[in-house]
Structure 1
Amino acid sequence: MSSLSVYHVSSPDLPNKVLTHFDDISATLAEQGVRFDRWQAAAKLQPGASDEELVSAYQGPIDQLMTERGYHGVQVISVSSEQQQPAEPPAELLEEQHFDEDLVRLFVAGRAQFNLHIGDYVYAVLCEKNDLILLPAGTRHWFDKGERPHFVAIGLFTAVEPLPRITPGDFAGHFPRLED
């Protein structure tokens, strides 16, 4: 189940609120300029579906969002703990960062968590199947795949390979990680 935990930066161990209803999550994030939607696939997807099949299942809404926001590229991102040895995630994922363009992810399977640092709050958004999150350019965040990562997501972008701008310091390290 998707969820949103909101932390004040002064109390990273205790969320001010935890939301689990889609409408509440979406409205709270919208107040911060973050889009959170739920998309349904137009066709039933089988495990092991090709990248083309995954994109095709969501083609209508993908095309609409690409036209609306001016995105040029689509990429399927697939991560599984079965594909790799358990290890620490790449450090840059768990460091606060931002991009000069929007960050868009549609989760097709599995789950992962985006942690958004906006003003004096951190919004920990647990994304699961059919969740779409759109972080506007410049949104400070870090991404947590969890201890045993498993997710498939579709990313939309304007640059070929957007490069993150890492925020100095260990701000992200003070907040809870996604635990499996």
Structure 2
Amino acid sequence: MTLLTVWNDNDPSTPELQTRDADTIREVLAGLGARFSRWELKELPENPTQDEVLEAYRAEIDQVNADHGYSLVDVVQITPEDSDEYRSSAAAARQKFLSEHQHDDDEDRFFARGSGVFYLHVNGKVHAVFCEAGDLLSVPKDTTHWFDMGTTPDYVSVRFFHDDDGWVGNFTGSDVATKFATYDELASVSA
């Protein structure tokens, strides 16, 4: 179940809020300009292709595109394998997103399978949103944030973009992301 944890950005040891209530999560995130919603999960094959995921969620994707003007949608899938190549590529993918950054565009993600944590650093607070299958989160443009997919990433997500450049991060150089609970630590709370 989705979990929102909020800390003061200079006190990572004591959460000010921790909730699984979808209405509270939606309300808190709306105060940051972020959108949160849940979609009904669709049946997908074990290792779905991009086209299978996009077709399964066609109506929902079309609605998001119509409402928010997205022109590019793709699917990212990371599935655990017992291989050195998987461990190396998963570690590299995780590291890419762990540093605080922002984008010149909104960052919308829908989790069709699996989970990940988006950390939004806004107004002296860090808001960790542990997203699970069925969650759609939109991080507003220019919002400092980072993403943790855990040490053993396992997810399928739909990404939305306004232009063909896709994901472009503007890194802040801050080490704030190293101070807060990781995906793996929050996953133990979510279980």
What's the secondary structure of 1:85's corresponding residue? helix
Q: CA deviation at 1:21?
A: 1.4
Q: C-alpha distance in 2, partners of 1:89/1:19?
A: 31
Answer yes or no: is 1:92 the counterpart of 2:96: yes
Answer yes or no: is 1:79 the counterpart of 2:81: no
Percent of residue pairs bearing the same amino acid type: 32
Show the counterpart of 1:4.
4
What's the secondary structure of 1:101's corresponding residue? coil
Q: C-alpha distance in 1, partners of 2:144/2:151?
A: 22
Show the counterpart of 2:183.
178
Residues 40 and 58, structure 1, Cα contact 8 Å, conserved in 2:
no
Match of 1:167, as an amino acid? T
Q: CA deviation at 1:89?
A: 4.2
Moved more, 138-147 or 22-31: 22-31
TM-score, normalised on structure 2? 0.88
Show the counterpart of 1:37.
37
Show the counterpart of 1:157.
161
Match of 2:63, as an amino acid? Q
TM-score, normalised on structure 1? 0.93
Answer yes or no: is 1:114 the counterpart of 2:118: yes
CA RMSD across the alignment:
1.6
Give the helix-richer structure, 1 or 2.
2
Distance 1:89 1:22, change over 3 A: farther
What's the secondary structure of 2:61's corresponding residue? helix
Q: How many correspondences in the alignment? A: 179
Q: C-alpha distance in 2, partners of 1:123/1:30?
A: 12
Gaps of 5+ in 1: none
